[in-house]
Amino acid sequence: MILYLFYNADLLDLGDNRSTLALGFVDDIAYIAAGKDFNETHRLLRDIMEREEGACDWARDHNSPWELSKTKVLDFCTKQKRKALRQPRADLLIADQRVENVETFKFLGVILDSALTFRPHAETAVKKGMRYVSAISRLARTTKGVSGEIARRLYVAVAVPRMTYAGDVWFTPVRELPNGRLSGSVGFTRRLAQVQRVAATRITGAMRTSPGDLLDIHSDLWPIRLLLDKICYRSLLRLCTLPDSHPLSTYVQRTSRRLLKTHPSPLHILFDTYKLQPQKTEKIKPFRLDTKTQLAFSTKIAPSRQQGVEDALRIGRTSRIRVYTDGSADENTVGAAAVVFRDGEEGESLLYHLGSAAEHTTYEAEAVGVILGLHLLAEEAHLDDAVLAVDNTGVIQACQHTRARPGQYLLNEIQRLADGLQRRHAGEVGNYALTMQWTPGHEGIPGNEAADAAAKMAALGPAATSPRRALPAILRKTLPLSKSALRRAHTDSLKARWKQLWRTSPRYRRFTRHDDALIPSKCRRLLLSRPRHEMSTLVQLRIGHAPLNRHLHRIQCADSPRCPSCGAPSESIRHYLQYCPSYADERWRMRVRLGRKAEKLSTLLYTSRGLDALASYNAKTGRFRNQHSRPR
């Protein structure tokens, strides 16, 4: 892959002015020309290909001839501008070969159209999603096939990525305007929601008449509108964390400053939607350290919590200088602290308030605590054997890793400060050693308790931060926003929007009493791992769309709503579970199993024990024999 960058370098240099641009990835090359009309743009493209040391000469010199039959020309223009130009679509002649002029073309997996509406790509995404869902349907029938959990994993891991590929390019997040109307890619959202609805029925085994919002909840699938919102946000956030050395960094920062009134790019629209600021976001490089880098300290993590406590008490007796660090986060704010102990006596401490919990994480606070601890050690005139007691194993392990991760700038600072201590003291004292050791928190260890109290104080607000001159240089300015914290905050906001969408559903009123049980993750845990013939019936009964005569008559699939067993006027779910005399014996066995709770639908349909008993009841009654229920 890297060698292609050198191999194609001359081709990418051909777009060298404001009128032409070269784009390339591996063996795919595209040339873009801008002009007042298509005659001019075609002339520029022909010049790129046919001029001396142009693309045709490159192909001849590298013995890599162009496959012009696969090469296409696409004229980009709005419909209004095209009418004004009155120019028909014309092919392009290059090296005596005709290059076809087309209305759409796929480049790097994205289908481009002449007006850049991306409608053809969105249409293809819908068809592609339905194709993958159809394949999953063949594996997961209503009563046979793979479990609901496996079907869900297939949909999430295979269908969703294929369906939403490059979603940040062709999809505009849906937003509700003050007048109540929706803006964005509303039409495509509805069509993709239909695809997901089919997938959810296959995952859960529900009837096709089941409402989409209840299917999303029971299959633990994000509503498609929120799913695409999540994908777009994460794509934009990744661009915001690109380091300054990345070729796209300058363009991303320039695009974030303002929304163009005419011809805004998808990136302009996303920045206007999410209000992210690359200048204030942390930068993540492809790697943190060279794999051969030697740490200036040793690390120690006990195999168990009890062993960690014993080790912490031991260093309290053997190490002259110990620094305890901690990070703390309440519901809204994050703080960090470090406290030094000399010969068992508590000494100085440093506190730092990171900011809002929506912008920083506890992991960051723990790393900042280590930085504060190293700064305290740097104040020591003589240092031989010192211990950094950290109550977070994640930070200790991350210091040993080289791969890209959020908060890497803090880990780099830890490495830099530790290197400085080593250079300063290793020559003075022959047995200099610095150990970063896991010390379990909330175990009554005096140093840990002191650091924990200081960190909680630092989390109270900026006023608790130590004087600026006492802090390390990196902490004397505002820290960049954490990628992890921003992702978590956005996910939390999407969860709140999901709850709001559910509460505005016409079905919410009927399920208000069971709102605590209709948590997507809980529904998934209770239902999707069950045998398929069992799960589908339980989901149908919970949703209220079950193959009983009352519902079948309503959808014109049964001649009468009467109960076929006892002749009651209406065979509803409540009648089937609680009143039908034909199933009195089976109902009595269920009551023996559950006691008086068997009389409550909330117990039968929304608790683990109730669902187990209900599955057995369904099998014994034989009412859903066409679904091949079997006794548990």
Helices 186-204 and 212-219 pack at an angle, to 10 degrees, of 60
pLDDT (average), residues 460-483: 94
- Joined tokens for residue 364: 């960051």
Q: Considering only 414-428, 454-468, 521-535, 537-551, which range has the smallest mean pLDDT?
A: 414-428
Give CA torsion, residues 548, 551, 555, 559, to 10 deg: 60
Q: Are strands 20-25 and 28-33 parallel, antiparallel or unpaired?
A: antiparallel
For residue 630, what pLDDT is reported? 41
pLDDT (average), residues 343-361: 92
Q: For residue 224, is pLDDT > 90?
A: yes
For 482-526, the pLDDT digits (tens) are: 999 999 999 999 999 999 999 999 999 999 888 888 999 999 999
**Full 3-state SS string of 141-181:** CCCCECCHHHHHHHHHHHHHHHHCCCHHHHCCCCEECCCCC
Helix (H, G, I), strand (E, B) or coil at 572: coil
Task: Answer for the pair 49, 56: CB distance below 8 angstroms, yes or no.
Answer: yes
Can you list the alpha helix ranges (DSSP code H) found in 101-147?
119-139
Report the mean per-residue pLDDT for the chain.
90
Q: For residue 316, is pLDDT > 50?
A: yes
CA distances, 553 to each of 158, 209, 507, 546 (Å): 37, 13, 20, 11
Q: Considering only 74-78, 350-354, 369-373, 502-506, which range has the smallest mean pLDDT?
A: 74-78
Among 12-21, 148-157, 394-403, the range of highest mean pLDDT: 148-157
Based on DSSP, count helices (H) and strands (E) in the chain, helices before strands.
27, 15
pLDDT (average), residues 144-151: 94
pLDDT (average), residues 170-174: 93
Domain ranges for the chain, please list them: 2-113, 120-280, 298-479, 546-632
For 251-303, the pLDDT digits (tens) are: 999 999 999 888 899 999 999 999 999 999 999 998 877 667 788 888 889 89
Helix (H) or strand (E) holding 30: strand 28-33
Neighbours of 348 (CB within 10 A): 13
pLDDT (average), residues 362-389: 90
Q: Considering only 7-21, 362-376, 535-549, 581-595, which range has the smallest mean pLDDT?
A: 7-21
- In whole angstroms, what is the distance from residue 360 CA to residue 458 CA? 14
In this structure, what are the phi and psi dihedrals at residue 194, rounded to the nearest 5 degrees?
A: -65, -40
- Nearest CA to 276 out of 307, 232, 308 is that of 232
Which class is 298-479 in CATH?
alpha beta
Counted residue by residue, the chain has a size of 632
- Joined tokens for residue 510: 């009927």
For residue 83, what pLDDT is reported? 67
Percent of the chain clearing pLDDT 70 (strictly above): 97
- In whole angstroms, what is the distance from residue 482 CA to residue 407 CA? 7
Among 24-38, 438-452, 536-550, the range of highest mean pLDDT: 536-550
Task: Answer for the pair 391, 305: CB distance below 8 angstroms, yes or no.
Answer: no
- Joined tokens for residue 4: 């292609």
Task: Answer for the pair 237, 487: CB distance below 8 angstroms, yes or no.
Answer: yes
For residue 631, what pLDDT is reported? 38
pTM (whole model) above 0.85:
yes
Helix (H) or strand (E) holding 183: strand 182-183
pLDDT (average), residues 319-348: 90
- Joined tokens for residue 508: 């919410």
